[in-house]
Structures are given as C-alpha cells and as structure tokens.
Amino acid sequence: MASSTQIKALMQSHIDQDDDRFLSIALQVAAHEARSGHGKLAQELKSLVDKAKKKSRENLPVSIANSIKDTTGLLSTSHSKLRLNDLIVSSEVKGRLERLVKEQKHLVTLKNHGLSPRRKLLLAGKPGTGKTYTASVLAGELNYPLFEVRLDAVITKYLGESSTQLRQIFDAIREVRGVYFFDEFDALGSHRGSNNDVGEARRILNSFLQMIEQDDSNSVIVCATNHIEALDHALFRRFDDVIRYELPTEDEIVLLFKSRLRGYVAKNFSWKKLALVAQGLSNAEVTLVANDAIKEMLIHDHPAISLEMLNCAIQDRLNMSKHFTI
C-alpha cells in the first residue's frame, strides 16, 4: 500500500497540476507493490500510468495551442522535426544546449529531488548565426510545440496594454508546455535608463522581469538578441544560461556546405578552398549561397556545381552584406 509520504506527494502534485511528478510517484507505488508481492495490483497501476502517458502525448497541446493563437494573435505555432545533429555551431554552444535537453528529459527526477532543470535561455549573436534555428531544434529534440511570440502584437501604443498582453503569454507558458521563443528580445529588454526610454517602455520591461522571475512552469523560454549590449543588466540573472553565437569557423562552414550540397558536387570537390573564400558569412548566408548555386546548376542544366559557381555566389553574398555593415 502507498506510504503516507507518497499519498501526500500524489495530492500535492495533483494540486500543482504537475502530471509528470504525479505519474512518477504512481510508478513508485507500483514498484513498492511489486516488491510486496502484489504483482497483479502493480501491473494494473503500471498499465494505468502507461495509458495516462499515451493519452497525454495524444492530447499534447495541439488543439490548445491553436486556440491560443486564434484568440490572441500573440503566438504563432509550429511543430519542428529538427534535432541537435542538424545544428552546426561550436562544440561549446552545442554542449550547453545538450545539457538543457538532458535536464529537460530528466525533469521528473530532478523535481523529485527539489531541483529545477534549465529552461530559460538567452541567445546572443549576429543575425543569421543560428539563434532562431536553435529554438526550432530544441522544440524538435524535446518534442514540444514551438510558440513564437509576436512582439509586434505585444508592444502597443496604448497605456498598460502591453503588460496585459505579456500576462496572456505567460499564462500560456504556464498552461501549455512548449518552447516559447522571443526573437529580437532587445525590443523588450533595453536599458531602463537609456536616453530614448519612456515610461511605458520601462513598465513593459519591469512587467517582463517580474513575470519571468515568477514563472515556474515546465515550458522552455528562449530569448534571442542581436544587441546584447542594449539589454538591461537586471535581465541576465533571470536566465539559466546566456549563450553567445559567433560567425562560423572554417570547419563549420565546410560542414554547412556539405550538409546542403552533398550530391550536387563532384567527389573530389575542394571544400577547404571554399571555406577560405566564405569567411565572414553567417550560417544563414552560407545556406543561401548553397541554395543559389543549386538553382544556378538546375536552371542552366550543369552536371554538377563547380567551385567557380560557388565562388560567384559567395562574392554576391559578401557584396550584399557590405551594404548592411556599419
């Protein structure tokens, strides 16, 4: 029979609406019954837990997510199939993301020991270095829906309305487990004392600081910024991890090209020469270069992509980037 401690824990997890912990304790009760010689009861309990888990997966927040998007317009929803292996970044960045994924997958174990898994990330770096892609990868790896926060809908000109919109988003974060992505986060998190600051902007930031600190949901929150220097310093301690993204190295450029161009180039293709020419391009720009070369090959019916074709595409992209360099 379940111990008094297990019964209290079951009730508390029910009150907290923590289904994972509830089912974990139920499995502990089943294991205890099995050790006590009550094999039939133990098997029945395990079958009920398995049935509950299956039903939870089937009902995972698709319909709820759609209703959130439809009624508020604050979130756009998608379901990613990407995995960590699809992400080409430095080993340090990948290691920190793998750590978050592992902690999320052991959420119940950690919570049973009074610990919280990492779930609040701040990603910083130049445009195109993989921040948005990372949010999709985390959603795919965890099998969570991806909710992208539409900051244009959150930030309004009406006094007090933006804080109300933020509250709706954090209500969704609490009610529907997922990966919630705040892109161009500096629009919310700029210095409260900056010269262009106004009262409403300060109120929005204060509201966000309070909400993210109070949030104890099971969702993953990912914020991305191209301008980490513009963020208010009070934000940093609200995150479990701050990860910086850099332009790809030569080895990473080669991996990016290989992942997109395998099957389109000759077997003896000189990847190393390509990496040297493409230095300074972001991850997204490398992908665009590869796509441009593929289109060139298909349109002109070339048998394969040549180094010359890729060099031209790289130069076009580098020339384009110069227009946006300050």
For the domain that residue 307 is a member of, what is the CATH number?
1.10.8.60
The answer on 235 and 94 residing in a single domain is yes
The answer on 227 and 119 residing in a single domain is yes
Q: Alpha-carbon dihedral of residues 210, 245, 186, 204, nearest 10 degrees?
A: -10
CA 12 to mean position of chain CA atoms:
29
Task: Please say which residue of 245, 262, 294 terminates a domain.
Answer: 245
The answer on 174 and 217 residing in a single domain is yes
Q: Given strand 75-78, what is the order of strands in its sheet?
A: 75-78, 146-149, 179-182, 220-225, 120-125, 241-245
Tell me the three-class secondary structure of 51-100, residue by residue: HHHHHHHHCCCHHHHHHHHHHHCCEEEECCCCCHHHCCCCHHHHHHHHHH
Q: How many residues does the chain have?
A: 326
Q: Which is nearest to 303 in space by CA: 273, 272, 263?
A: 263
Whole-angstrom distance, CA of residue 79 vs CA of residue 77: 7
Share of the chain above pLDDT 90, in %: 45
Q: Give the pLDDT of residue 173.
A: 93
The answer on 184 and 113 residing in a single domain is yes
Banded pLDDT at 151 (limits 50, 70, 90): confident
Banded pLDDT at 158 (limits 50, 70, 90): low
Q: Is the Cβ–Cβ distance between 75 and 169 less than 8 Å? A: yes
Whole-number average pLDDT of the chain:
83
270: left (phi over 0), alpha (psi -120 to 50) or beta: beta
The answer on 231 and 121 residing in a single domain is yes
- When pLDDT is averaged across residues 129-155 and rounded to a whole number, the result is 91
The answer on 97 and 18 residing in a single domain is no
Q: Give the pLDDT of residue 305.
A: 93
| Residue 59 vs residue 325, higher pLDDT | 325
CATH number at 95 reads 3.40.50.300
- When pLDDT is averaged across residues 253-257 and rounded to a whole number, the result is 94
Task: Please say which residue of 18, 34, 58 terminates a domain.
Answer: 58
pLDDT of 266 higher than 90: no
The answer on 24 and 11 residing in a single domain is yes
pLDDT of 238 higher than 80: yes
pLDDT of 62 higher than 60: no
The answer on 156 and 259 residing in a single domain is no
Handedness of CA 256, 262, 266, 268 (dihedral sign): positive
Q: Is the Cβ–Cβ distance between 208 and 189 less than 8 Å? A: yes
Whole-angstrom distance, CA of residue 273 vs CA of residue 262: 16
The beta strands (E) that lie in the chain are given as 75-78, 120-125, 146-149, 179-182, 220-225, 241-245
The answer on 53 and 68 residing in a single domain is no
Task: Please say which residue of 245, 260, 285 terminates a domain.
Answer: 245
The answer on 223 and 92 residing in a single domain is yes
Q: Is the Cβ–Cβ distance between 149 and 173 less than 8 Å? A: no
- When pLDDT is averaged across residues 168-175 and rounded to a whole number, the result is 91
pLDDT of 60 higher than 60: no
Lowest mean pLDDT among 105-114, 172-181, 314-323: 314-323
The answer on 230 and 258 residing in a single domain is no
Residue type, 127: P
* pTM of the complete model: 0.74
pLDDT of 193 higher than 90: no
Domain that holds residue 29: 4-58
Whole-angstrom distance, CA of residue 77 vs CA of residue 67: 10
Q: Give the pLDDT of residue 197.
A: 47
Q: What's the CA angle centered on 96, arms 93 and 99, to 5 degrees?
A: 150
Structural domain tally of the chain? 3
The answer on 76 and 153 residing in a single domain is yes
Q: Between helices 19-35 and 4-15, what is the axis angle to 10°?
A: 160
pLDDT tens-digit map of 267-298: 888 888 888 899 989 999 999 999 999 999 99
